[in-house]
Chains A and B, each alone.
Chain A
Amino acid sequence: MSSDIFERNFLFFNVLPFSPGKEKELAADAVDYMKQTGNDLVLYCMTLHPQGFPAMKKAEALLASYRALKAELEGTGVRLGLLIQSILGHWPRVDKDEEPWTRSVNSEGILTRFCPLDERYRKYIFDVAAMFAREKPVFILGDDDIRSFSQGGAECFCELHTAEFNRRTGNRFTPEEYRAAVKASRQGDEIFTAFDTLRRELFNNVASLIREAIDSVDPSIPAGSCMPGAEIRFASETARRFAAKDQPVVMRLGNTLYLERSAKDFPYVVSRTMVYKAAHPSVDIAMDESDTFPHTLYSRSSVGMHAKLFSSIFCGLRGSKLWLVNCRKMGRPVHRNYTKILAKYSRAYQVLAGEVMKTRMTGVIIPAHRNFPNWHPGWGKRNSEYFLSEPTLGSRMFGVLGIPYQCKFELDQPGVYAIAGAQAIGRFRDEELKTLLSGRLLLDGPAAVAVCERGFAGELGLTACFEEFRYNREVDPATETGYPITKEFNVPHFKDLAPGAEVMTELCYSPYAGSPEREFAAPGTVFFRNALGGLVCSTAFHQDVSYVQYNETRKEWYVRILERLNGGRLPAFCQDLQEILVLTRAYEDGRVLCYICNLNFDPMETVTLRCGAEPARVEELTPEGEWRGMPFRREGENIVLDRSLNCYETLVLRLISEGEKK
């Protein structure tokens, strides 16, 4: 039977700092947290990877503190669980006295953590997990040290792993030969495949071992995992191994944003959240990594934490792992701004999560991929391949222009797809490209060149290539509208237009501003309906053209293109001329759920939206979780909401047109 902790629309697990000798104070903080925020789930942070000698001494010391905290929380309503903050260890901590267990060896030949193939270490893991399971924690969460990367290299090349590899493959490698063979291997060959299987087993088997230990005490204790950044493709298997039988699979995504610098980067985080969620459909409860590490406002503002929480709920996440909210660190209270903002929006989180379940994500589609041709676990830090080839048009452009977007793996969905850059094209196989080209597709200059180089120029109705040509203007000849552009090498030259290709803008050359002379240089924006049935727009412009990425006319240009591809108006976008992130979801009856976040330092005094269907009613989700009608006025084709938004502040709206008005 599923635990009742999963009954809420959105779960918060607040991690409590290890506080030996101060459990009473910690419990008081946790009770206060619950009273203020309504969230009753807390996880005691236990750093359980072996340290000191004997290792079990530390585990027992931690257990004693856990029990003391448990006793303090008895009868308070706060439900105590456990964060196994480490079991393998996030990095080797120069232990001076250590167990004589086999150490892992990474792909750089560095001795790292203890190897979980060592039976003695396995027994330690089992015993520790069983020991804590006996305390009946409300939930056990394994942290993201349960991975196979440490100190910049993949694990493991110890003697035990080498022996296991040899047993499976019939080789007779020494550990050093094994390591060299893996580094020299190629995707798909026997060595690569056998190593990668062992590598994944390294952490998945740790999860299984912990589950087995828990089951030996109480199979109903729910558990989950935290996605490590280096295991974005494989992490859900670990979560499944952790999950109790017949209970939801729970995984915290690796979508953190601490040590924040700029709100303008926020769309990148949102894109990551979307794509991680989509990459792991078998996970029932995907959780936000709401960590503010190292738990000060210097690292993460509360307003930024909240903006991310709202956006993650919008992307379909159903929980959050918070850190040290309302607690103390080094004897000092962690900033109460975090508590306050969680308390303020406690109802809104639940209501929004409920609304999200009734809706589907909408917006321009940024296609994600599962092709990692260059990924090699033995190559350590060079493994920088992700599901999206950033910067995408979503993260870089639409996410700050106020145009809703979404990330999807499916390539054949209704809607407009948008691709920027050659690398993104390179991730798609020919068949996948054909699928994309048979739909409605926007390609920027470098992407158009890459498509042509793959032999699909016919589908674009033009040839796009990089060659020297001079231009300094982009103009729509029909309206004489100029779009700011500067000379840039990666702006391709479009030529050999097919009959039927429609030119929306042209690149031109003019000797100086105001000069009456203007010479045509090349097409700039071209639409083409191809033989695959697709409608493709290729643009010479791309998002790296210096100083001209963001401006009002370029925003209008994007909207024109997208709406022409869409065959109708976008459901909603923001008309304000500053960095603003807008996400949308659609109800079955056509209503629009809309998330808006001001990413600019300048406060917005009003919010201006242009909607596909003019709304008859606009409702705002209040912090109390109520939908409150919001007055608005019409200005031309826009609606203007008299609602101010400060930097990083969010707004969730429901837009209801006449036919849908309830």
Chain B
Amino acid sequence: MADRTFAQNFVFFDILPFSPGEEELLAREAVEYTERTGNRNVLYSLTLSPAGFPAMNKVLFMLESYRKLKAALQGTPCLLGVLFQAVLGHGARNFPPPDLKSRPVEPWVRMVNVDGALTRYCPLDEGFRKYIFDMSVLFAKEAPCFILGDDDIRSFAPKAECFCELHTAAFNRMTGRNFTPEEYRQAVLNCNRGDEVYEAYETLRRGIPNGVASIIREAVDTVDPEIRCGSCMPGWEFLFNGETSKCFAGKHPAVMRVANANYNETSAKHYPLLVVKTMALRLAHKEIPVVLDEADTCPHNLWSRAAISMHAKLVSGIFAGLNGAKIWYVNAHKGGKPVSRNYTDILAENKGLYQTLAAECAKTGLAGVVIPAHKNFADWHAAHYSEVARRIQLVADDNMAVTMLGHIGIPFRASFEQDEDEVYAVSGAETIDHLSDEELKKLLSRKLLLDGPAAAAVSSRGFSDALGLTAEHKAFSFNRELRTDDGKGYVIVQDSQVPFFTIKDPGAEVFTELHYISYNGADDDEYIAPAAVFYRNALGGYVCSMVFHYQIVYSQFNERRKEFFIEILERLRGRKLPLVSADAQNVTVITREYPDGALLAEACNINFDPLRKIALRCAKTPSRVERLTGAGEWIDVPFEAKGEIVTVEIPLACYELAVLRLS
């Protein structure tokens, strides 16, 4: 059974909505889903957090529905599993209302969060542990194809837990203290990372999800150790959810869905951020063999998530190295209404593509300009997570993939490594702030592009020598950026975050300069400061510092600035970029490279204007361009090569993409 579940290159788990009394309909829809998409795995969504009294009543009610669905699916190609959509509960919602206090509840210990609020039941309570164990056994006895724990198996609801009497006692045992729960909570609120209190608390905090996962695994093992289980990474626990997934996995390869959702979508221009975050999440857990995309469309309608963008995210997820997806309610009903069949249609149209692409990705390595990722969260504190939420990103939100490369069609990739043979690109001070001095030195010993705020941050950390200049924020005037070789200009306007560069080493090569002129057409041009400077430093690195940054109003994207970036990146890397979009609108390009140098590429149009054809600038004119069809076959596509520009006759509507192979 387990092998059949994971038999594909890319594994889909379609969540089926809890539909008591409508199991026949649900089964028919699931079968249709399987027939159309080729995906067999469906997980019945069961909200198993204790509600009502006795709590086991609800479990039995859901088990009954599960059994009906199982019976209805008997003999069909569908493989039925279960999503524990809630065990701890996503919030404290299911406790009866204060105005209905007469309702009995289970007498189990409630968790206390860092605000002192009572939240969910505490999984240190033996009664609740027994409940988790027993209900897991009940479902394991149904021989599900897979059990997936949801992201309520976490230690936030919504603030960090747990300061109940049981956790306080555990903490006291670990540390030899004698805190009351309130003293414990205050101690954690006021401690620093690295303190004994923090470290002990953090161990206990992580023990909440990991402990629940272990109970479930243990329960499943008592029935059938062959049943595979996995976890869903909660948003705030992406650093250690790999542990949780291993607790779930037991002897099997771990399975984890990453927290990379994008429901309630607004803009296609958000796509580069989704892509680079997914890459970073995948790499942060490279030891986990099966990582699933969070392809949720919650609340499961087109107002929240278009099918075309769900597909684009799936494809970029595969490019990032994911090998599965958790999708929700595809081809099912919700609230008595059919969920839009657009989702079914697009999965059906591309069922071959996902599988072939996942196989191709296994043969290739991500290529592109490197966005440095990190796991240094020295200033992040679980008890104050909302105040420092921004500080716990593997890649900064304003990284250069998001602010530039992902829009102008220059391939990029995230990396935690600091010895890649590729250009690293950093925008903004945040990434620099997260690096230790040692890490910063390593980065400066590579080929590196820094925008203005990043250069100023490096300079203020005492590494001006490695830049060949000092970069400082001060008031000064400019209104032109001009090349030193031919005097041609780039759009720029006065901006307080543009740093002032002062050359420290005559060996620095000035590529552009800031100038001032009274008005357009005046003859009183005045030199102000260097603007883009290359420098070969003593660390062996080759660094380009540029004053330009993405927040300079109205100057972010234009054709000249795109060419500026290409020129700088190619000078740093010492050779041409293999592939760049040649269209003058928002296009995201992601590439992977085969051992023989051939390229696997995704080009996605994230502009509202449709592209009539795809234009690519290739370092080497390809002899062959192939497109991966929805059926998963490579077909040759006609293309025209004029100089470096290769034009492929593939139109792309907004958010539409093409997967190409250039040999």
Chain A residues with a Cβ under 8 A of chain B: 18, 20, 47, 51-52, 58, 61-62, 65, 93-97, 259-265, 293-294, 296-299, 301-304, 329-332, 335, 337, 400, 468-470, 472, 481-482, 484, 487, 509, 511-515, 517, 519, 547-553, 577-579, 600-603, 646-648
Is B342 a contact partner of A332 (Cβ separation < 8 A)? no
Instruction: Give CA–CA (A553, B559) in the complex, Å.
Output: 46
> Which residues on B sit within 8 Å (CB–CB) of A47?
519-520
Q: Which of B61, B266, B479, B557 contacts A296 (CB 8 A)?
A: B557
B521 to chain A, nearest CB (A): 4
Known: A264-B266, A511-B96. 6 other contacts (CB 8 A): A260-B608, A297-B586, A301-B607, A331-B488, A470-B98, A648-B608
B267 contacts A by Cβ under 8 Å = yes
> Which residues on B sit within 8 Å (CB–CB) of A600?
302-303, 306
Is A482 a contact partner of B335 (Cβ separation < 8 A)? yes
A262 to chain B, nearest CB (A): 4
Q: Which of B304, B306, B519, B556 has the most CB of A within 10 A?
A: B519
Residue of A at shortest CB range from B105? A511
A137 to chain B, nearest CB (A): 20
Given A94-B494, A299-B557, A602-B308: A647 and B655 interface contact (C-beta under 8 Å):
yes
Is A578 a contact partner of B302 (Cβ separation < 8 A)? yes
Is A330 a contact partner of B560 (Cβ separation < 8 A)? yes
Given A301-B609, A512-B47, A512-B52: A296 and B303 interface contact (C-beta under 8 Å):
no
> Which residues on A sit within 8 Å (CB–CB) of B268?
601
Is B585 a contact partner of A52 (Cβ separation < 8 A)? no
B99 contacts A by Cβ under 8 Å = yes
Interface size counted on chain B using CB atoms at 8 A: 72
Q: Mark B475-494, 1 if CB is under 8 A from A, else 0.
A: 00101000000001111001
Is B555 a contact partner of A514 (Cβ separation < 8 A)? no
> Which residues on B sit within 8 Å (CB–CB) of A551?
299, 301, 303, 334-335, 337
Instruction: Give CA–CA (A20, B521) in the complex, Å.
Output: 7
In the A-B complex, list the 8 residue pairs whose CB atoms are closest, starting with the nearest. A470-B97, A550-B303, A298-B557, A52-B518, A301-B608, A601-B306, A578-B302, A297-B585
Given A487-B93, A601-B654: A298 and B558 interface contact (C-beta under 8 Å):
yes
Is A95 a contact partner of B654 (Cβ separation < 8 A)? no
> Which residues on A sit within 8 Å (CB–CB) of B18?
513-514
A/B interface sample: 17 pairs, CB < 8 A: A51-B519, A296-B585, A301-B608, A304-B608, A329-B558, A469-B99, A482-B335, A487-B93, A509-B97, A511-B58, A511-B94, A513-B20, A514-B62, A514-B65, A549-B303, A553-B337, A600-B303
A629 to chain B, nearest CB (A): 27
Is A468 a contact partner of B98 (Cβ separation < 8 A)? yes
Residue of A at shortest CB range from B20? A514
Is B655 a contact partner of A601 (Cβ separation < 8 A)? yes
Instruction: Give CA–CA (A220, B98) in the complex, Å.
Output: 75
> Which residues on A sit within 8 Å (CB–CB) of B21?
514
Instruction: Give CA–CA (A268, B76) in the complex, Å.
Output: 49
Is B96 a contact partner of A470 (Cβ separation < 8 A)? yes
> Which residues on B sit within 8 Å (CB–CB) of A472?
93
Interface positions of B from 571 to 605, Cβ below 8 Å from A: 584-586
B309 contacts A by Cβ under 8 Å = yes
Q: Which of A330, A400, A519, A601 contacts B491 (CB 8 A)?
A: A330
Instruction: Give CA–CA (A20, B268) in the complex, Å.
Output: 38
Q: Which of B51, B62, B306, B336 contacts A511 (CB 8 A)?
A: B51
Given A294-B555, A646-B653: A552 and B269 interface contact (C-beta under 8 Å):
no
Is A94 a contact partner of B489 (Cβ separation < 8 A)? no
Interface positions of B from 332 to 364, Cβ below 8 Å from A: 334-337, 340, 342
> Which residues on B sit within 8 Å (CB–CB) of A578?
301-303, 306, 340
Q: Which of A51, A61, A512, A552 has the most CB of B within 10 A?
A: A512
B223 contacts A by Cβ under 8 Å = no
Instruction: Give CA–CA (A522, B241) in the complex, Å.
Output: 41
Q: Which of A259, A293, A579 contacts B302 (CB 8 A)?
A: A579
B524 contacts A by Cβ under 8 Å = yes
Residue of B at shortest CB range from A294? B554
Interface positions of B from 358 to 399, Cβ below 8 Å from A: none
Q: Which of A263, A332, A335, A548 contacts B299 (CB 8 A)?
A: A548
Is A293 a contact partner of B554 (Cβ separation < 8 A)? yes
> Which residues on B sit within 8 Å (CB–CB) of A548?
299
> Which residues on B sit within 8 Å (CB–CB) of A259?
554
Is B584 a contact partner of A552 (Cβ separation < 8 A)? no
Given A52-B518, A484-B299, A484-B335: A298 and B609 interface contact (C-beta under 8 Å):
no
B516 contacts A by Cβ under 8 Å = yes
Is B61 a contact partner of A514 (Cβ separation < 8 A)? yes
Is A52 a contact partner of B524 (Cβ separation < 8 A)? yes
Q: Which of B298, B336, B491, B607 contacts A294 (CB 8 A)?
A: B491
B154 contacts A by Cβ under 8 Å = no
B610 contacts A by Cβ under 8 Å = yes
Instruction: Give CA–CA (A278, B302) in the complex, Å.
Output: 33
Q: Which of B52, B494, B586, B655 contacts A298 (CB 8 A)?
A: B586
Interface positions of B from 311 to 340, Cβ below 8 Å from A: 334-337, 340
Q: Which of A65, A94, A331, A481 has the most CB of B within 10 A?
A: A94
Is B608 a contact partner of A647 (Cβ separation < 8 A)? yes
Is B584 a contact partner of A296 (Cβ separation < 8 A)? yes
B307 contacts A by Cβ under 8 Å = yes
Is A577 a contact partner of B653 (Cβ separation < 8 A)? no
Instruction: Give CA–CA (A262, B265) in the complex, Å.
Output: 9
B407 contacts A by Cβ under 8 Å = yes
> Which residues on B sit within 8 Å (CB–CB) of A58?
518-519, 521-522
Instruction: Give CA–CA (A259, B342) in the complex, Å.
Output: 29
Q: Mark B406-439, 1 if CB is under 8 A from A, else 0.
A: 0100000000000000000000000000000000
B7 contacts A by Cβ under 8 Å = no
A77 to chain B, nearest CB (A): 28
> Which residues on B sit within 8 Å (CB–CB) of A260?
608
B653 to chain A, nearest CB (A): 5
B490 to chain A, nearest CB (A): 8
B246 to chain A, nearest CB (A): 31
> Which residues on B sit within 8 Å (CB–CB) of A298?
407, 556-558, 584-586, 607
B324 to chain A, nearest CB (A): 24
> Which residues on B sit within 8 Å (CB–CB) of A509?
96-97, 100
Instruction: Give CA–CA (A644, B337) in the complex, Å.
Output: 23
Is B518 a contact partner of A297 (Cβ separation < 8 A)? no
> Which residues on B sit within 8 Å (CB–CB) of A330?
489-491, 558, 560
B408 to chain A, nearest CB (A): 8
Given A20-B521, A470-B100: A513 and B47 interface contact (C-beta under 8 Å):
yes
Is A18 a contact partner of B94 (Cβ separation < 8 A)? no
Q: Mark B47-75, 1 if CB is under 8 A from A, else 0.
A: 10001100000100110010000000000
Is B560 a contact partner of A18 (Cβ separation < 8 A)? no
Is A297 a contact partner of B521 (Cβ separation < 8 A)? no
Given A301-B607, A514-B65, A600-B306: A577 and B521 interface contact (C-beta under 8 Å):
no
> Which residues on B sit within 8 Å (CB–CB) of A482?
335-336
Residue of B at shortest CB range from A556? B337
Is A512 a contact partner of B94 (Cβ separation < 8 A)? yes
Instruction: Give CA–CA (A72, B425) in the complex, Å.
Output: 47
Given A261-B266, A482-B335, A646-B653: A18 and B479 interface contact (C-beta under 8 Å):
no
Q: Which of A262, A302, A519 contacts B266 (CB 8 A)?
A: A262
> Which residues on B sit within 8 Å (CB–CB) of A20?
520-521
> Which residues on A sit within 8 Å (CB–CB) of B655?
601, 647
Given A512-B94, A600-B302: A646 and B20 interface contact (C-beta under 8 Å):
no
Residue of A at shortest CB range from B518? A52
> Which residues on A sit within 8 Å (CB–CB) of B62?
514
B8 to chain A, nearest CB (A): 26
Residue of A at shortest CB range from B475? A94
> Which residues on A sit within 8 Å (CB–CB) of B477?
94, 96
Given A294-B491, A470-B97: A547 and B299 interface contact (C-beta under 8 Å):
yes
Q: Which of B336, B521, B554 contacts A65 (CB 8 A)?
A: B521
B306 to chain A, nearest CB (A): 4
Residue of A at shortest CB range from B526? A96
